Every structure is written in structure tokens, then in C-alpha cells.
Amino acid sequence: MATPSLSPRLRLLRVLHAQPHRYPRLRWLTQAVTFAILFAVPLLHLARFDLWDGRHLWAGRPVGFVYGGGGVFISILAFYTITFVLNAAMGRVFCGFGCPIGEVSRLGDDVEIAAKSGKNRLAARARAGAFALGLAVAVSLWFVSPRVFVEGSARAVAATLAGVGALAAVVHLHGRFWRWRFCEGFCPIGIYYSAVQTDHGFGVHFDRASGTCKECDACSLVCPVGLDPRDLTKPKDNVGGVAIDGFPGQNHCLTCGECVRACEHQFRKAPALVPLRLSFHARAASPERAAEP
């Protein structure tokens, strides 16, 4: 039976993954920071709504049902506030580098590439599985104390393990089937930024004036949400989900840098000529505006 072929985007990703690059290393570093926060909040007793024995925590102290739930809600709200502030200053950079759900989608791409190319399949699946399990454990700690494995009954331990396993399975299924469609049409932060454009200088910038672009379309091909990085002012329609159509591509851009990575690969023999970059960059005036008195 013939092995299904890879999509053009995944074929390009397979080529890019074969070459070391700074963005994957930076992404794993930011993922480590995200995981550290997710684990630290419950393990340091900053917040937990304990579904096992009701010993809820807030700010290091035992609290009742209402304050326990409120503490978790406030902690989640604080986490999202940080991402909103970061994204307001630097675009959707958290989506591209720090979001664990985005990383699950990326690992799902890796698993499909490995499965269809017949190389490193076990390693790709192990990485995706370990990440899904780690995320499931981190989330579970917000709602079940790890003391359950020492003090809990066999039934409580079994229920906890089943819950962690079910959550890990959901995360795995996301990476297997849904992936970037969630980022496009269902992510709460993504929906917000698809409709609201803040004045930030950081993001993907295309230097059209340099005249070096090869028009190879590699940057568009590799974009996980189907944008043309050379013109992020074009409206994006037919987004799907509950997202709103008609807003410019820069509002949907995940700031993941994959387009820049693809562009740099095309110019690997002449890196100084790369017209696409992910950086702080002042927008140059258009020729028409420059000609105005």
C-alpha cells in the first residue's frame, strides 16, 4: 500500500527542519518558561481548586470553595493579561513562540512528516506524546493535589490518572487532526487579535524596495494560517470557525517566523539579500506618500 504523500507545506517544512535554525531553539526556551509558570502556580500553592479533597489554595493559604475557584480564575486571567500585553507590544509573538497549543500543532506537523516520509517516526511521536502528557499534568495540578498519589484511595488515584490520560489524549488529538485551524478560528486570543490591530513595530516585515525577492512563494507556502507575508495588509476572508472575516493579514499573523525561515533558506548562499525579516522595523513611507509635499 502506497504511503500518502506530504502536502507542499509539509514537504517544505521537512527541508527546513533538516537545517539548524535559531527559531526552534528560541521556541523551546519560551515553551520552557510557559511550562515553568504552569507548574509553579499550583506547586508553590499560589492557586489550586482541589477537586480531590477540597483543600483549595490561594496565595499560599488554604481557602474555601469560592476563594479557591476565584484564585484559579484570577491566576488564569493574569496569565492571559500578560499575553495580551505582550501581544499588544510585539504582535502575536506569544502565539508563535510561547503558546503550548501552538507547539502541539507544530509537533503534529512533525509527526505527520515523519509518518509519511518514513523517517524518525518513533522519535517524532515520542516528542509529541511527552509534550501532550507534560501539558496534561501541568493543567491537572491546578485541580488535583499531587498528594492524591500518597494519601488518596485507589479509586482517587485511578480517577486522577484517568483524568490526566484523557486530557493528554485530547491534546494529542488536537495535534493529530485540528492543529492550526484552532489558532485561526477558535483561539480566544486569536479572535481578539483578528479584530483588533495595535500599533506595534515588531513582526514580519517585507523589504519590497530591495528588489531581491525571488517570487518563489516559499514564505506563503509555509505559513500555517495561509497568509502572504509579503503583503499582510490584504484582508483575510473565509477564516472559518467563529473568527471575523475581512481584517488584514497582519491581525492573523502568528509571528512564528516560519516564513522568514523559509526565505532565509532560499537565500542561504546570500543571507544579506533576505527581504523578509522578523524584527522591530520602522515602516517606511510608500513611494506615493514620499512624493507628497
Q: In the chain, what are the domain boundaries? A: 8-192, 202-284
pLDDT digits (tens, 9 = 90+) for 170-218: 999 999 999 999 988 898 878 887 777 666 778 999 999 999 999 999 9
As a whole number, the mean pLDDT across the chain is 90
Query: What is the residue type of 39?
Result: F
- In this prediction, the residues of the chain whose per-residue pLDDT falls under 70 are 1-4, 197-199, 281-293
Report the run of H or E that residue 235 belongs to, with start and end.
strand 235-236
CA-CA distance, 249 to 227, in Å (whole number)? 6
- pLDDT the model gives residue 199: 67
CA-CA distance, 157 to 220, in Å (whole number)? 48
Q: Cβ neighbours of residue 189 under 8 Å, at least 6 residues apart? A: 80, 83, 84, 87, 92, 94, 95
pTM over 0.75: yes
pLDDT digits (tens, 9 = 90+) for 40-52: 999 999 999 999 9
